[in-house]
Structure formats: structure tokens, C-alpha cells
Amino acid sequence: MHYVWLLLCAVGLILYTVWGSYFARNPLDNIPGPPRQHWWTGNLDQIFARYVWDFHKVLAERYGPVSKFYGPLGARELYVFDPKAMYHIMVKDQNTFEVTPAFSATNKVLFGDGLLSTTGEHHRKQRKMLNPVFSISHVRDMVPAFLKVTKCVKHGSREINVLEWLNRTALELVGQSGLRYSFDCLQECYANPYSTAVKNLLPTIFKVSVARKFLPFLINEICSIVDAMDETSMKVLEEKKCALSKGDDAVLHQIGEGKDITSILLRANMDASAEDRLPDLELMAQMSTLVFTATHTTAGALCRTLLTLAHHQDAQDRLGEEIQLAMAELGELDYDALANLPYLDAVCRETLHLYPPVTTVARTAADNIVLPFSRPVKGNDGTYMHEVLVPKNTNVVVNQKKWLSPLPQSVIDAEIPGVYSHLMTFIGGGRACIGFRFSELEMKIVLCTLIQAFKFTPTKEIDWTMQVSSPNVKGSEDAKWQLPLRVESR
């Protein structure tokens, strides 16, 4: 009898959802957008599949900066890149537009209660603890560790999979500067279990395509990957706590000499009040979150930069000359020297501007809320709307906006909520990327090391995945992502 009631409740919930999605009126019905592709998944395959750049282009060009698409069982969802709407979603009304429950639950399964999975006051408490850890003064101290790692990357003249080496380099950079732990000696044919786990996690998630929205129920494939990440994070945390308990001398003999992110975080956590202190499981979650995000997004951004420079040899040569002149004058480049290389800075900013490593972010309305637009949107009935009522539980997908220089005055006035260079690359508001300075430093040091030593030339046509941007050879059936480039010593 108990199972009958459960079945009846499930059927009732489905019927209620179908009624609400297909028959009940919705304030978003007048927003233009593409027809649903499937009764069950709506347009999710078109929005979230691996290579769907053409569909996103159609959304932008045909329907404009605010459009509607369909989610599961016909649920209306919004697709937005209107600057005023983005400002309200990310900053002004950020407490109403929270991360989607699916995103939060997925990241909790993968990383635990870290910054990507927590919401509300819990997230703000963690952010309060972590913000000082990523200050410029601490990032400045990471330069020696970054330089040490990048000097290990050496190759002769041949075609190589640049993505593999950049993934390994980014992981070792965040390992030594973030955890004071070495994951990878950066030698041929070496594979650390944690390195393999981090590298395989994102492709494994992509295998389930639209089902990523329901990943908490599809975790069998990723259990071993998550286990490997957890074991290493626990080992690093325990070793660090042990060293800190023995005093400064023990810490100074470890990788990073106590200036890594984990050491700084642990000290800050020990000094915090009881109500602000984070438990060990949450500290582990921050470590796993940091390692994964810093590895994949930075490697992806570096791949884009090197491929773009490979297609523009004049820009590659100009960058190489700037780096060589600076090194001839100053020797090894410190944080300030790197910050004062104008062409290097321009290359990094323009790449992140045109090709953000994370192409979209999603939010869910926690309550009914009016979302205003910077320009009126022509509705399906021909009327022009300056705002729309977004019903509670509606998902909103925000596309990372791109602008060519100089910025239009309308964009400057629109208060784009990005924390970096008036861009949405690292988003903005209370959930902006906390490590954007760390990522920028990684990019600049790796580029300085590689461009002054090697020349890069394209060899094959490349496709890029959506969501978290990663390269693969166009038309390749190989599930292994790759970026083949010819690398020659200068």
C-alpha cells in the first residue's frame, strides 16, 4: 500500500508539472525564442550539448539579448546577455537569483561543501574566510613557485598535444602554489593518479550531455574519480595540519614554504572565531574545488591563447620580443614586471574577452521577481517589453558577453557586473571567481616561459566545447580532448 501511495504521488507530481508547463499561462510566454525540440528535454540538447556554437549564435542573432527556451517537460527558461538584466541577476538581485539546485547538488557530489556547491549565508561565510587568501599580496608570493614549475616544460621540434601538457602544468602550478603538493614531475609518460582523475573528470561529466542537469543521480561513472580526489585532498590536509602544529620550521621545509593557499587558509581558519571557522570537510572541499577549476579553466584559456597566437605569427613574434627585452633588462620576471608588460596583458585580456573559458552560467529565481532590460524586447504579440516577471523556480542562463574595443558608451553605462576588465569572463557579484588574479598570473607566467622558448604553429582544424571550453580535432571520434600544435625551439 505504501508503494501505491508513492506511485500515485509521483504520477500526480508529473501531471502537475506537465499542466504547469504546457497549459498554464506563464509571464515568459510573450518572450520570443525557438520552438521546443523535444517534449521531454525541450531545447536542453541544443543549449548544453558539446558543440552547439551555431545554436547559441542563432539565439543571439534571431532573438536578441533576451530570449526564451524550453527545459524539462516544457518548463520555460530564459537566455540572457542584456547588460542591465545581467547586472540585476549577478549583483542587485543576486540573493534572489541563486545558482541552480542541479549545479549546487552536482558540485556537492564532486567536491563536497565548497564554494561551488554552497549557497546563501553558508556561501557568504566561506567567501569571507577565503577572500583574503586570494589577495594580491598572497598571489605575489606565488611567483617563484610558478616559475619553478614552468621551467620544467621542455620539448624539441615536433607536433605535440598541447592540451595534455598545459593540463599537467596548470595542475602542478595549483598543486605547488595552492596546496604545497607536487602532483606531476612534468616528465614524459608520467601519470599521477590525482592528475589522471582531475583530467578525466570533465570529459566524464560531458558524456552524459543533457543529463548533467541530473548528475547527482548518475554518479556511478565518476565515483572512482571523486574518491581519488578526496584521498589526495585528505592526505594533503593532514600533512599540512601536522606541519603547522610542529611550528614554522616544519612548514618552511615543505613545498611552497608556507606561502601556499592551503597554509594561508589553515592559519586563517585557526585564528578565526568559533562561528566563522570551517570544518575539515569544508576545507577539503575548497581544496578540491580550487584544483579542479584552476586546472581546467586555465589550461583551456592557455590553449585558446596559444592557438590564436599560432594563427597570428606576427602577434606571437611581437609578444616574444617584448618578453625577451624585459628578461634581458630585468632577468627573472617578478609579479610587478609581469604586470607591466603591456602586450602580454593585452593578449591575455583579449583572449579572455573573446573566448571565456566558461561560456555560460545559470541561476534560478528563488522568488517571483521583475527583471528589467536595457533595451525593450519585442514580444510575440508585437508589443515592446521593458521588463518581465520571472516566476519563482525559473532557470536563467547568462551568456558571457564579449565586446570589441573601444566599448560602446551604452555598455559602459550599463554597469556590466564583471570583476575583471569590464568583462563577464570571471562573472561578478557575490559569486564572482575568487581566484581570477591567480588565474591571470598563471596565464602570464606560462606564456612568458613558452613564447620566449618556442614557436607554435597550427596543424589541424579545432572544435571547442561549450560550457567549459576545451579543444578537440574537428570531426574526431576520439573522446580524448586534444590540441595538436607544432612546437619548434626558437
Hey, what long-range contacts does 296-299 have (CB within 8 A, 24 or more apart)? Answer: 296/167, 296/170, 296/198, 296/202, 296/357, 296/468, 296/470, 297/357, 297/358, 297/439, 297/468, 298/166, 298/170, 298/173, 298/174, 298/357, 298/439, 298/442, 298/443, 299/163, 299/166, 299/167, 299/169, 299/170
Within 13 Å and on the Cβ side, how many CA atoms surround 27? 14
Distance of alpha carbon 6 from alpha carbon 2, whole angstroms? 6
Distance of alpha carbon 134 from alpha carbon 138, whole angstroms? 6
- CA distance readout (Å), 359 to 57, 131, 294, 325: 13, 24, 16, 35
Cα 272 → chain centroid: 29
The answer to the question of whether 433 is labelled as a binding residue is: yes
The amino acid occupying position 443 is M
The amino acid occupying position 87 is Y
Burial class (CB in 10 A: 0-12, 13-18, 19+), 384: exposed
Binding site feature residues: 433
Binding site feature residues for heme: 433
